[in-house]
Structure 1
């Protein structure tokens, strides 16, 4: 498998800290009586401009990351790729489904009708001074279809000798453009975006009702991550005839590295060591671990599904399983390769939020805020699950590798 340029992305570990500071400052600004409304409107205007640019950029991000990801993943992998991709996608769907049922069972106990009324009755708060409509070049669904078509065709061309290299190089360079914009514009400005959102919620009076829900969702999501990782290792260990507790113990360095780096790609070297300690053969771990860092998204899906369900409950919107499961199935495809870029998973998910009724800017901003504060733990769950899958694949191919 060729080197993934996302491996070279360096993510500042202080992002979550900056987001929390932005939330705190935003709440303070919105509640101080001497802060004039025009100042709140300036912050809201900045958030609105960022939101417009984000909507323009997301289809380009999907094309840049997903096309390159697919073009890399299908390079000479054959049945091994197919089995790994199928297990990874299945695990992602199971993770999202698990999160939905836990969320619908537990969240209503603290997302009460009184809190819902406070949030819905608070209104939108201050309005921006002006907006700048930036029409995306493509619709998101069009971008997803184009990315898959281009990725598969480039992969097919590269399977032929001396063919497809120009298109592949173009894809690689466009991916670098996307990653550069994420690193230098989107991620640095996220705290400003979130500050404006929370200042407006604080000004409108809904922020404390939101925060009373926020921290409980955070704790439950982390517990779900840990439970799901344990389940994956229990199943993989039982299937492979290995001690699940030992597998979990060997995974701790990879988990902690992912929490610190917030990057599946940056955790690959440590995760390869964890796979080796779990007895996964070199051939399998060198293929499965980097591959699953791109396509196995169970941790991210648990977080996004939980936050989505919480928002739907907060705004008293429909949240049937059929509605959410279609959303989960779409994200399992659309987020391919996105977690390799900082903030990629939630940015890939934002265009699909209207599928479940999350349509307003305020709701989408809150969704981003909820997700990013838990992103490092979702990443840690993703990479831990990668090694559980590697144990299964190694068992499936054990005889072929020995021969």
Structure 2
């Protein structure tokens, strides 16, 4: 029987802890070699992930659907940014108390051994260059009549998607194993587990609070009962919890959105598949809280507020393009964690582990929140958009909201 990603991740984590406790110096040197190699390999692909996802996402946003499309995309981005801001403020208040002086010490050869060999293969471009170039290329493909560019970026995204599914996701448990061998060998595990346990509980609570806020605001704007809307979308939340896949949940979420009494079915047909690919509030909350926690643990202090503001603004853009690929959200975010917050391989590995462990709750929050956005869009565009106009947008979108 094949193990899923989460069991493999947990297995890698547990084995890493056990090996780290009992491993001799030569064995930790081998795991350090693996950590450095896989860390360099992941960082090599990050600019390609950001460029291909963002460029292809913008290229697909053609103007034929007009104000409806622009409004939905803008609403998704604003929703994500506000959610991240709430998560950041809460984290700045609570996380220092969770950490309570605990931090990871610098790696030393005497503690866990040095890598046997280090192979350097630097990325072809830095993160911000990839982001800016993606926006420029994506806009050129969207505004002009260059079908060649649009096709090229879409095919590049398909290639990177295959790389993620067939290579990067499978090696993540190995990377996590190597990370936790080092953490365990340095005797820093017990404090980290307590901190991460509290942080994961905070993430789940914040996701539920954000869903309540989303539906309360949506109910007020749409002049409808938010409790009725939540009740309608509850089967989608439960399904997403079980599948951890918005693609598998899409038939349920679309069907349930249409059962909301005030919902125009044509609006639901347009908004729900689109938001499955561009709206990741649950993932954004997780990444913001996790980034602040890991930053305190690895650097010994809260990141400057100015850096977190930049991180949140860029995170919203990155998640808009990366939401449609399984694991794409966290993998694309590794780039800005490295370039903006200065995370090293240990920090990036911890982010991968924390994100994957809570993925079932994040996916459920993402897909359920789409219903709240559909309610708001319906308030302004319901009964006003004919089927032809929506279909002309050529938004054939389904995907994993991870």
TM-score by shorter chain over 0.5: yes
| Structure 1 counterpart of 2:334, from 347, 350, 354 | 350
- Identify the residue that residue 128 of structure 1 maps to in structure 2: 115
Q: Deviations over 1:293-322 (max 9, x none)?
A: 222221111001100111222232342433
**Structure 2 residues not aligned, in runs of 5+:** 388-402
User: Shift of residue 143 of structure 1?
Assistant: 1.1
**5 Å matches for 1:299-338?**
299-314=282-297, 315-338=299-322
**5 Å matches for 1:209-224?**
209-224=191-206
**5 Å matches for 1:4-403?**
14-32=4-22, 35-113=23-101, 115-116=102-103, 119-120=104-105, 125-157=112-144, 163-279=145-261, 280-314=263-297, 315-398=299-382, 400-401=384-385
The separation in 2 between residues aligned to 1:164 and 1:355, in whole angstroms, is: 32
The separation in 2 between residues aligned to 1:143 and 1:282, in whole angstroms, is: 38
Task: Select between 51-60 and 359-368 the one with higher mean Cα deviation.
Answer: 359-368
Distance 1:138 1:263, change over 3 A: farther
User: Shift of residue 255 of structure 1?
Assistant: 1.6
The separation in 1 between residues aligned to 2:114 and 2:59, in whole angstroms, is: 44
CA contact (8 A) 2:307 2:341 kept: no
User: Shift of residue 167 of structure 1?
Assistant: 2.6
The separation in 2 between residues aligned to 1:257 and 1:126, in whole angstroms, is: 45
Q: Deviations over 1:253-282 (max 9, x none)?
A: 222232333333443222211210114222
Task: Select between 192-201 and 318-327 the one with higher mean Cα deviation.
Answer: 318-327
CA RMSD of aligned residues (A): 2.1
**Structure 1 residues not aligned, in runs of 5+:** 1-11, 158-162
User: Shift of residue 126 of structure 1?
Assistant: 3.2
- Identify the residue that residue 394 of structure 2 maps to in structure 1: none
User: Shift of residue 378 of structure 1?
Assistant: 1.5
The 3-state SS of whatever aligns with 2:99 is coil
User: Shift of residue 109 of structure 1?
Assistant: 2.3
The separation in 2 between residues aligned to 1:312 and 1:278, in whole angstroms, is: 42
User: Shift of residue 23 of structure 1?
Assistant: 0.7
The 3-state SS of whatever aligns with 1:229 is helix
Distance 1:48 1:58, change over 3 A: same
CA contact (8 A) 1:327 1:355 kept: no
Distance 1:74 1:267, change over 3 A: farther
CA contact (8 A) 2:292 2:302 kept: no
CA contact (8 A) 1:265 1:290 kept: no
User: Shift of residue 371 of structure 1?
Assistant: 1.6
The separation in 2 between residues aligned to 1:171 and 1:260, in whole angstroms, is: 33
Give aligned pairs, total.
Answer: 382
User: Shift of residue 376 of structure 1?
Assistant: 2.5
The 3-state SS of whatever aligns with 1:213 is helix
The separation in 2 between residues aligned to 1:142 and 1:322, in whole angstroms, is: 20
The separation in 2 between residues aligned to 1:197 and 1:285, in whole angstroms, is: 43
Distance 1:402 1:395, change over 3 A: farther
Distance 1:94 1:389, change over 3 A: same
TM-score under structure 2 normalisation?
0.89
Distance 1:363 1:126, change over 3 A: farther
The separation in 1 between residues aligned to 2:231 and 2:133, in whole angstroms, is: 42
TM-score under structure 1 normalisation?
0.89
